[in-house]
Every structure is written in structure tokens, then in C-alpha cells.
A and B are shown apart, each in its own frame.
Chain A
Amino acid sequence: MIQYIASIATEGVIFSIMALGLNVIWGWAGDFDIAFYGYVAIGVYMAMVTSIGRLPSPDQYILGWHLPFLVAIVIAMASAALLSLLVGTVALRKLRASYYAITTLATVLVLQIVIGNYTPLFNGYNGLYGLDQPFNDTLKLSPEAYPFFFLGFCTVILVLVYFTLERLSGSPFGRALRAVREQERAAAAFGRNIYRLKLKAYVLGATLGGLGGALFAAYLGAFNPTAWSPIETLLLYAAIFVGGSGNARGVILGVFLVSVVFQEITRFLPNLGGNASFSSAVREILIGILILVTMRYRIQGLLPEPRSKDAVAERVAAKLYAGRGSTAG
């Protein structure tokens, strides 16, 4: 039982890292990006091909290095960053809202088709496997103890990511991004370079996606293209919406509510009618309903984004609104 809890907790921590990355793109910059899981996938793949060495043929893939896992993580992050730089450079230039979303959806599907069919890259639809318990060559932990070590390792990374993002969020960069999200033209009028700000946020988010992917690779041990469809990105979004877009604590809460609690509760549903996909179907229906309800009634989520604490601006605003009376609503 405690093994099981450790496993779920690890999954939640890894999803939190991914969701925090996506939250930079959606919560801070306001771009509804559906390609995000593509960066997670690139992270997974790159972490694998740089650390598992060569599998026996007929499996084929690029690199096949046997690097330490920490180096593999860095390579995974860099690869996701590079890919997102490429996509963002093109897509963020003038596309917005639904046009942008559709473009990124197309991008991730192209990626999936190419990786699935072009076997020399990442072994096509058969996928990769063989990333077992990184660090355990030196640690020599027992199979019972290792999951707790890995949970701790992921948690440390989550804490690092959390504090880095919290700092960035209040920095001029984070505040400028929010200004762009709220009113692109106004931000441009104040001399902000919209495109560069959005691109920076996009690459930062995707890099965290790659980081999450690298950890996910170690957690799963095996990976193939059926494991990452646009739906996976949607599940991360569901977590962010429910928790609170733009609020890091809200996002983590959302991940544990949606990706973990929902996931695990529906796993214990009785299997009605001999339908093998019963529990997963019920889960996705519930998540769909959750998205609808949040969009309609509580778009800010359970923990809304805190308002900025600029004392001067608040005083000015208070004066302005006091002067205008009840018509201001």
C-alpha cells in the first residue's frame, strides 16, 4: 500500500512540474498551447536515448549514449527548449487565441506522426524502454527503498522549480508577461516587445516540460507515441483550470486533485459490461465535465491568481474608483 502511495505521489510531483511549465505559457502569457505534451515527449525520448545505451536490434534510435541521468535531464531540457524555440518563433509571431491553439494542435500531431512513422529517430510506434532506476548503480538501494528515493529526488526538483518560478513571477519579466496577457496593445504601447516576451515564456515553459518528461521517463521506464496525444495536454489544462491559472500553488493543488485523485478513484470503478476502457472513459467524461464547469462558473479556479501588490497603483486605483461611484462596475 505504501509503495502504491509513493508511486502515485511521484506521478503527482512529476505532473506538477509539467503543469507549472504549462502554467507559464497559459497562466502567465495567456497562450492556449496544445503542443505542450510534445515537449514532454521530446524530454522523455531524449532522456532515454542519451541514457539507456544500445538496445538489441531490431530496435533503432538515434544517439544510444550511456550518459549519467543528470546529464540526460539537461539534454532533455535543452532539446525541448530548442524545439519550442522553433515552434514559438513561427507560431507566436502573429497568431493568437484559437488560431494559435489550432496551429499548436497541428504541430503536435505532425510531431506524433513523424516520430511514429520514422523509426530511425525514436523506434517509431514501438517506442523505447530500458530506463531502469537511474542512480541506483551507485546507490544500491533495495527495490523497496528506491521508489522513496526517487520520490524525494523529484520533490526536490519540484521545490526548486516552484521557488524559481515564484521569484520570476514577481520579477519585471513576470509582471510584463501578465500585462501582455491582459492587454496586448496597452503593453506594446508601454514599450514591451510582445513577441519576445511571449517567446521567452514559451521556451521557459517547454523547458520545464522537458524536465518533467525526463523524470517521467525514469518513472515509466518505457514510452511510445500512443502515450502522448493532445488529450494528455488537455488533462494538464484541466488541472490548471481547476486549481487556478497563474497561481503556482493552485496548479499543484489542481494536479493532485485532477490527475491523481480522479485518476486513482476511477481506477477502482467496477468494470461494467465487460468494457475494458470503462474506467478510463468515465474518468475522461468527468474531466470533460470539470472543464465545462470551470469555464462556465469559476474560470479563475479554486485558488485564483493573487492580484499584484503594487501599493502606489492600488492607492491610485482606489481614488479613481471612489470618484466614479457605482457606475464603475
Chain B
Amino acid sequence: MEKVILGVGFGLVTGAILALSAVAFTLTYAVSNIPNLAHGELLTFGAYAAYATQRFTHNVLVAALVAALTGGVMAWAMNAGLIEPFVRARVKNIAIFIATLGVSLILQNFILLIFGGANLAYVLPASDSHQVGPFIWTGRDEQIMAASFLVMLLLYLMLQYTKFGKSLRAVSESRELARVSGINAHHVVEFTWFLAGVVAGFAGFVLAASIGTLTPSFGFAFLLVTVTAAVAGGLGKPYGALAAALVLGLVMEISAFYIDAAYKLAIAFAMLVVVLLFRPDGLFTSKTGGAFE
């Protein structure tokens, strides 16, 4: 039982990081209907941008901001440079999906060219672990969870209460209907990609800070876990992705206490396959619920 409680502690941290990435992934899916397989590279670019920034400014906060901004610009460019032109040229969805895989290949190797393949690491203040209630966390773990919670809260408020949030929900239901109701769907889609990129870039920074090292393929490695959470939450449904990310984080970390930790990812992917087979519309969807249920 003690192991389970410890696992819950670690699972919350993993879930917090995963939630950032999965919500970002699902938001772009919500407006464009394409699973973006180059999503992992938003994390990678964010993390490497933060690394470069930190070497010059020695400031962690600036590094985090640059990570988020880099992710945002990259995601905006992916939509404007790849998704939208391909959609306009009436390329089939599966071909656009394959094209995003091509983009992922290009971007990963671009990082490999610039930074090399070696493991890099941020210079972060030492952070000792301590007991918090039944859990063992480091100060960094707590910061990560707090930051993730804050981002989620902001996203929630934005989606529920702002005009942009309402437009986003409308566009995700039907771009055509939103357009005839006077919503500038093009702008909404563009800004959603930018916003999702900001969250993903920040997630990349957080992920690299959490695992300690970054490599050109670390975002791609995280992509599948991200997709798992997004699919389990129901593709295109941010709140579902958030809940699924937490569940997945818990499952992975608790299982690591019982089975060799090397199989952690295998368990996540096995869960993905099971979800796709039995609840392909997501774990938390009801038949009547809308896209944002």
C-alpha cells in the first residue's frame, strides 16, 4: 500500500507534465481534425530554446518564457505553412497526417544538426526531496505541479468565459457553422495553434527540467504518451485529455513499483491500444455529450 501512495505522488508529477502536452495536442486536433505527429517537436524545440536561452541569460524564468514562445511560433508556423495549405489543396487527411510525420523527421534532425546528439542538461538549482503528507516530492516537482495547475486554470477560464474560448468551441464543433455565424474561423484556428504551441513549448521545458536531460528525440518519445492521453480523453476534448493525462501518469508510476520501470512506456501504449479498441471515443465521453464535455 505504501508503494501505491508513493506511486500516486510521482504519478501526479508525471500527470501534470503530460496534461500540458496532451491538452495542447488535443486543442490543435479540435480545430484542425489532424493528429499532429510533429507535436513532439514543439516540446523539443521549446526545451532546446530554453537551453540556449539559459546559457546566455542564466535565468530560468526567461528560459521558460522563451520555451513557450518558441513552441507557440513553431505551432503557428506548422498550421500556416503545412496544415492549412494542404487542406486548401484538398490533400487527403491521411496524407496530411503522414506529412506531419515527415515534418517531425525534419525537425528532429534539424535539432540534431544544430545541437548534436549528446545529452544536454539545464543548470538548475539543486532540489532536495522531502516528505509532503504521504508523498515524497522535490521542490521542483511542486513547482511543476503548481505551474501545470495554473496553466490549466487559465486555459479553463479562457475556454469557458472569453469570446475566443466560445469561438474555439464553436469552430471545433463545425468550422462551417462557426463561419456562417460570423466567427472569423481562420483567426480562431491560427490563434488556437499558437496557444497550443505555447503550452507545448512550456511542457517541453518542464519535461526536460523534470527528467534532467534533453536529446533531439525526447519530444518524439513523449509524443506517444501524449497521444495516449489525448485519445483516452477523447481526441479534441481538452478536459478529457487533462483527466486522462492524470490517470495515465498514475498508472505509469504506480506500475513502475510492481513491474520493471523499463516497461512503464509499454504499459502506457498497451493502455492506448485497449482504449482504442473498446472506447475509441475516449474514456469519459457520454453518448450525448458535446465535444467539450
The residues of A that contact B95 with a CB separation of less than 8 Å are 295, 299
Interface digits, A86-128 against B, CB 8 Å rule (1 contact, 0 not)?
Answer: 0000110111011101110111011001101100000000000
B116 and A296 form a contact (CB under 8 A): no
B35 and A284 form a contact (CB under 8 A): no
- Give the residues from 62 to 106 in chain B that come closer than 8 angstroms, CB to CB, to chain A: 82, 85-86, 89, 91-99, 101-106
Binds A, one of B162-170, B186-194, B268-276: B268-276
A98 and B113 form a contact (CB under 8 A): no
A291 and B98 form a contact (CB under 8 A): yes
A117 and B260 form a contact (CB under 8 A): yes
A292 and B99 form a contact (CB under 8 A): yes
Binds A, one of B10-18, B43-51, B224-232, B240-248: B224-232
Q: How far is the CA of A116 from the CA of B266 in the complex (A)?
A: 11
Number of interface residues of A (CB under 8 A): 43
B224 and A234 form a contact (CB under 8 A): no
The verdict on A276 contacting B113 (CB below 8 Å), with A107-B273, A292-B103, A295-B102 known, is no
With an 8 A cutoff between CB atoms, is A231 at the interface? yes
Q: How far is the CA of A258 from the CA of B93 in the complex (A)?
A: 24
A110 and B269 form a contact (CB under 8 A): yes
The residues of A that contact B135 with a CB separation of less than 8 Å are none
Partner of A295, one of B86, B263, B272: B86
The residues of B that contact A280 with a CB separation of less than 8 Å are 109
Q: How far is the CA of A292 from the CA of B83 in the complex (A)?
A: 11
The residues of B that contact A164 with a CB separation of less than 8 Å are none
Q: How far is the CA of A277 from the CA of B114 in the complex (A)?
A: 11
Q: How far is the CA of A276 from the CA of B109 in the complex (A)?
A: 12
Q: How far is the CA of A98 from the CA of B227 in the complex (A)?
A: 11
Partner of A103, one of B34, B82, B273: B273
Q: How far is the CA of A32 from the CA of B94 in the complex (A)?
A: 8
Partner of B280, one of A99, A231, A282, A285: A99
With an 8 A cutoff between CB atoms, is A19 at the interface? no
Q: How far is the CA of A231 from the CA of B112 in the complex (A)?
A: 15
Q: How far is the CA of A117 from the CA of B260 in the complex (A)?
A: 9
The residues of B that contact A94 with a CB separation of less than 8 Å are 277, 280
A285 and B262 form a contact (CB under 8 A): no
Partner of B117, one of A32, A90, A277: A277
Q: How far is the CA of A94 from the CA of B289 in the complex (A)?
A: 22
Partner of B116, one of A117, A277, A290: A277
The residues of B that contact A109 with a CB separation of less than 8 Å are 224, 265-266, 269
The interface centre, meaning the residue of B96, B260, B263, B266 with most chain A CB atoms within 10 A of its CB, is: B266
The verdict on A291 contacting B99 (CB below 8 Å), with A102-B272, A113-B265 known, is yes
Q: How far is the CA of A284 from the CA of B253 in the complex (A)?
A: 34
The residues of B that contact A24 with a CB separation of less than 8 Å are none
B101 and A97 form a contact (CB under 8 A): no
- Give the residues from 13 to 60 in chain B that come closer than 8 angstroms, CB to CB, to chain A: 34-35
Q: Quote the shortest CB–CB distance from A37 to chain B (angstroms).
A: 14
- Give the residues from 225 to 272 in chain A that come closer than 8 angstroms, CB to CB, to chain B: 231, 234, 237, 241
Partner of B97, one of A93, A98, A282: A98
Q: How far is the CA of A299 from the CA of B270 in the complex (A)?
A: 32
With an 8 A cutoff between CB atoms, is B110 at the interface? yes
B269 and A106 form a contact (CB under 8 A): yes
The residues of B that contact A288 with a CB separation of less than 8 Å are 102-106, 109
Q: How far is the CA of A118 from the CA of B260 in the complex (A)?
A: 10
- Give the residues from 195 to 250 in chain A that come closer than 8 angstroms, CB to CB, to chain B: 231, 234, 237, 241
A110 and B103 form a contact (CB under 8 A): no
The interface centre, meaning the residue of A32, A97, A102, A103 with most chain B CB atoms within 10 A of its CB, is: A102
The verdict on A291 contacting B97 (CB below 8 Å), with A113-B265, A275-B116, A282-B113 known, is no
B110 and A234 form a contact (CB under 8 A): no
The verdict on A97 contacting B94 (CB below 8 Å), with A275-B116, A281-B113 known, is yes
Q: Quote the shortest CB–CB distance from B89 to chain A (angstroms).
A: 7
With an 8 A cutoff between CB atoms, is A278 at the interface? yes
The verdict on A295 contacting B106 (CB below 8 Å), with A106-B273, A277-B116 known, is no
Q: How far is the CA of A289 from the CA of B103 in the complex (A)?
A: 8
Additional A-B contacts beyond A97-B94, A110-B266 (9; CB < 8 A): A98-B34, A109-B265, A275-B113, A281-B109, A281-B113, A282-B109, A284-B105, A284-B106, A285-B105
Chain B residues within 8 Å of A, Cβ to Cβ: 34-35, 82, 85-86, 89, 91-99, 101-106, 108-110, 112-113, 116-117, 224, 227-228, 231, 260, 262-263, 265-266, 269-270, 272-273, 276-277, 280
A sample of 29 inter-chain contacts (CB < 8 A) reads A90-B277, A93-B277, A95-B276, A95-B280, A97-B93, A98-B93, A98-B94, A99-B276, A106-B272, A113-B263, A117-B263, A231-B105, A241-B98, A275-B113, A275-B116, A276-B117, A277-B112, A277-B113, A281-B112, A284-B109, A285-B105, A288-B105, A290-B102, A291-B105, A295-B86, A295-B95, A295-B102, A296-B86, A299-B95
